[in-house]
Amino acid sequence: MKATLTFTWIQIKRMFRDKMAMFFTIVFPLIFLFVFGTIFSNSSNAQFDIAIINNAGNDFTTEFIKSFEKKDSLKIVDVSSLDDAKEKMGRGEIDSIIEVPAGFGEPNDQQIPHGELAVYYDEAEPQAGQTLASVMSGVLDEINIGVTKIEPPFKVVQKSTTTTGVSQFDYTFAGLLAFSMMTMSIFGLSNQLPSEKKTGALRRIKATPFRPRQIIIGMTLSYLVLTIVSLSVMIVVGTLAFDFDMHGNWLILAAFAILGALVMSGFGMAVAGWARNENQSAPLTQIIAFPMMFLSGTFFPRFIMPEWLQSITNWIPLTPVSDGVRMIVTENAGIVELLPQIGLLGAWGLVIYLIAFRVFRWE
């Protein structure tokens, strides 16, 4: 026991002294975090880029347009003419054009200001046009009430769930945590151990009473520590830079992350223990890691897959990891809700460690 812990402690020290290992522990996950964070934190508050063509030019219209500028969901892009705006919309730079016709807001026969707004949208993106049209109707409804002083008896109240629920970033971030657990354990281990077989460092240990199972346990524990450091850095940066909003219990997350990282290390350890050198471990690692990466719902949700594929990917070992982390982080799942994930992970862990103990080779 003491031998294993001493071995683990030396491994941890070595990793923290290794610039390459530190890059993959800290910098590499942060690069992913920044890339995905930047992509998903923008689209989370669904902003529309719009152009306004003002043909009316009266005080009423100026006031009217000003009320748009206050809306967070609208970003007004400068354009020189309707044609310029249409061109920009064709390139996808703006989502919609609002044309205010001449005479908009001028009083009609009953001395009430009136007018008709035109909302142009791209045929390819009818949703943007519809959303914007309803936003405009909302704005106009309020003006209508102000002008006619008649409160409409029936109204629609829009309530967004994203403000109180889960932002897209939080959803993606949970996947990133799972992804990081996998890459750290599988790629790290299956690279390190075979190269130490090649240098002869493991051969020297073979000459001592230290046993293979102690190597497996020691390496697993050291990678567990490294993974926890990596995840902690990601969570701190995710919270500070991207407003990661933790909905669940931190202790449950920590315990679940340890279970997930242990199972993932088992895969790394099985490959690393078996392979005589990196030439053997590298392709095997890819075969194991890439399907996990793309099929387990870390980066894109599994519900977009066809049913038959989902029924297979349910059983991939990274699936319960990313599902579980997501359930904790976004839905405040407790142990009971996580039981299916924990059960599946436990089964995979048992199988993979049995294999790892079996196939270990000293050199």
Partner 1 sequence: MKVKNIISVKNLTKRYADKTAVDSISFEVRAGEIFGILGPNGAGKTTTMEMMEALRPIDGGEVIIDGINVAKRPSKIKHIIGIQLQSSAFYDKATLSEQLKMFAAFYGRNINPMELLNEVELTEQARKYPEKLSGGQKQRFSIATALVNNPKVLFLDEPTTGLDPQARRHLWDLISKIKARGITVILTSHYMEEAELLCDRLAIMDEGKIIATGSPRKLVKDLLARGFKKDQVVEQANLEDVFIDLTGKELRE
Alpha-helical regions (H) of the chain = 2-17, 19-22, 28-43, 59-69, 82-90, 126-148, 168-182, 188-199, 201-206, 212-242, 250-274, 278-295, 307-313, 318-331, 335-359
Q: Binder to partner 1 among 143, 205, 225, 305 (CB under 8 A)? A: 205
**Judged by CB, which is closer to partner 1: 88, or 198?**
198
Binding string, residues 308-327; x marks residues near partner 1 by CB under 8 A? --------------------
Closest CA to 189 of 212, 216, 210: 216
Contacts 24+ apart (CB under 8 A), 68-72: 68/139, 71/135, 72/45, 72/47
3 binds partner 1 (CB under 8 A): yes
331 binds partner 1 (CB under 8 A): no
Applying the rule CB under 8 A, the residues between 168 and 197 that interact with partner 1 are 196
Q: Binder to partner 1 among 200, 283, 340, 346 (CB under 8 A)? A: 200
Cα separation, 204 vs 215, whole angstroms: 13
251 binds partner 1 (CB under 8 A): no
**Judged by CB, which is closer to partner 1: 203, or 358?**
203
Q: Binder to partner 1 among 93, 203, 213, 315 (CB under 8 A)? A: 203
Contact 8, 218 (CB under 8 A): yes
Cα separation, 140 vs 131, whole angstroms: 14
Applying the rule CB under 8 A, the residues between 207 and 236 that interact with partner 1 are 207-210
To partner 1, the closest distance from the beta carbon of 203 in angstroms equals 5
361 binds partner 1 (CB under 8 A): no
14 binds partner 1 (CB under 8 A): yes
**Judged by CB, which is closer to partner 1: 139, or 205?**
205
148-180 burial: b if 16+ Cβ within 10 Å, else e: eeeeeeeeeeeeeeeeeebbbbbbbbbbbbbbb
Closest CA to 117 of 43, 45, 46, 67: 67
To partner 1, the closest distance from the beta carbon of 21 in angstroms equals 9
Binding string, residues 116-155; x marks residues near partner 1 by CB under 8 A? ----------------------------------------
What SS3 class is residue 97?
Answer: strand
To partner 1, the closest distance from the beta carbon of 187 in angstroms equals 19
To partner 1, the closest distance from the beta carbon of 17 in angstroms equals 4
Binding site for partner 1 (CB under 8 A): 2-3, 6-7, 10, 13-14, 17-18, 196, 199-201, 203-210
